Amino acid sequence: MESTVTYESDLNLKATELRLGLPGTDEYEKQTPPSVRSNKRSLPDIIEESDTGDREAPVTKAQVVGWPPIRSYRKNSFQPKKIEAEATGIYVKVSMDGAPYLRKIDLKVYKGYPELLKALENMFKFTIGEYSDREGYTRSEYALTYEDKDGDWMMVGDVPWDMFMSSCKRLRIMKGSEARGLGCAV
């Protein structure tokens, strides 16, 4: 469809490779330069001459106030949407208790919880087993939690996937006694 597909699949490979970076470093910025989101262009900084030099492009490409004459109301209507919906994805940090460094994953890549769980199991080399409504993750000494928009730590799996995607800020794989506490029905 668009160039965004290849963009995303490239990053997916990168997300699952092991690397020796500092814990918590952001390799992928959430903000991409505007033209990456364009349907037509791939490189933000290069002004390509698609026509044979007929264009007399002005020397400075600096933004001129009020040009083109679009009301800011209209300009602003698009930018937020593009940042969310297009190539950037929803990147969240994943930490695991006891692991030396964090990882980052793109939630948009996964269609639902089972896929996410599997990916995390692969990434951190552990088993979390299945999730059940009543008891959480009972089969494992791990529990998967996330921090939501309000700053609360929630168990992954309780809410519909879409709601989870939009409210999840970071993930934490808890281990040990804390995890077991979460596994019991309250």
- Which of 36, 174 has the CB closer to other proteins? 36
Binding site for other proteins (CB under 8 A): 34-35, 38-41, 47-48, 50-51, 54-58, 61, 64-75, 77-78, 81, 159-160, 162-163, 166-167
- Which of 20, 62 has the CB closer to other proteins? 62
Q: How far is the CB of 160 from other proteins (least distance, A)?
A: 6
Q: How far is the CB of 171 from other proteins (least distance, A)?
A: 19
Q: How far is the CB of 61 from other proteins (least distance, A)?
A: 5
Give the chain's end-to-end CA distance (angstroms, integer).
47
- Which of 32, 38 has the CB closer to other proteins? 38
Q: Which helix (H) or strand (E) holds 147?
A: strand 142-147
Helices of type H across the chain: 3-16, 72-85, 113-124, 161-167, 177-183
Q: How far is the CB of 147 from other proteins (least distance, A)?
A: 17
Q: Tokens 């929803």 map to which residue?
A: 90
172 three-class SS: strand
Distant-in-sequence, close-in-space partners of 39: CB < 8 Å, separation ≥ 6: 2, 3
